Amino acid sequence: MDSTVAFTAALAVTTAGGIAVHLLVRAQTAAAVPGPVVDGQALRRTHERRAETYTEFSTAAGQIAAMVMVWSHLPQDARPHALDQARAHLQTLRAQHVAVLADSDTAIREAAAAVVADSERLVDALVLDADPGPEELRLAAAHDLTLPFLRACRAYLEAESERHFGLRPAAGRSLFGRLSAR
């Protein structure tokens, strides 16, 4: 055998062996390195925290609406204290709004901004020596204040549950009874 042919054959065998070893090591290393670890408990805690934040936000708005509804039945000497309570609920709502903005999708953020704007309008309508107007009473009475927000929250949380946990609500039912917008 010619020395050039022998050298070429040896080089080909060595290269093929090197490639085979490289592929084997690479396959074993790839199998040993796990993919992204999904912590189911952390996802659940995040999910529950979001639901709690949304509930607290809508509860503060509901308390403002309730104050508007009872305003005309309050005695004049109780109205200053009730107005202070309504303003405190508005401050709570604003603080919860920051939490909602930090951890939500666009639909929830838009609905939450509308709730804050309507709640501010309702608190501004509370005048010590006058009753709220018919538009404010309608808004407070019909639960129009939080309904779009709660629907957006429910849709977001159910989509997230399906994506992360494979949970689908039964037909006509929500996974989140506390956030039910019906």
Residue 29 and residue 56 share a domain: no
Do 22 and 44 lie in one domain? The reply is no
Residues 68 and 148 in one domain: yes
| Tens of pLDDT, residues 46-83 | 878 888 999 999 999 999 998 988 888 889 999 999 99
Same domain, 57 and 28: no
Are 82 and 136 in the same domain?
yes
One domain for residues 73 and 151: yes
The pTM is what?
0.67
pLDDT per position as a tens digit, 9-47 = 555 556 655 565 556 666 666 555 554 545 678 778 887
Q: What is the average pLDDT across 153-176?
A: 67
Residue 25 makes CB contacts below 8 A (sequence gap 6+) with: none
User: Is it the case that residue 181 has pLDDT exceeding 50?
Assistant: no
Residues 106 and 151 occupy one common structural domain = yes
Q: What is the DSSP letter of 2?
A: -
Residue 130 pLDDT level (bands cut at 50, 70, 90): confident
Mean predicted lDDT score pLDDT of the chain: 77
**What is the C-alpha separation between 154 and 179, in angstroms, rounded?**
6
- CA 61 to CA 72: how far, in whole Å? 19
Domain span at residue 51?
40-179
Question: Which two three-digit tokens encode residue 77?
Answer: 């000497």
Residues 102 and 165 in one domain: yes
Is there a single domain that holds both residue 48 and residue 16?
Answer: no
Number of structural domains the chain divides into = 2
Angle at 15 between CA 11 and CA 20, to 5 degrees: 150
d(CA 70, CA 93): 19
Question: What pLDDT is stored for residue 134 in this prediction?
Answer: 76
Q: If we measure between CA atoms, which residue out of 178, 74, 51, 181 comes closest to residue 126?
A: 74
Query: What's the pLDDT band for 102 if we cut at 50, 70, 90?
Result: confident
DSSP, residue by residue, 8-65: HHHHHHHHHHHHHHHHHHHHHHHHHS--PPP-HHHHHHHHHHHHHHHHHHHHHHHHHH
Binned at pLDDT 50, 70 and 90, residue 132 comes out as confident
Cβ(131)–Cβ(76) below 8 Å: no
Asked whether residue 49 falls in the same domain as residue 26, the answer is: no
49 & 73 share domain: yes
Does 65 lie in the same domain as 19?
A: no
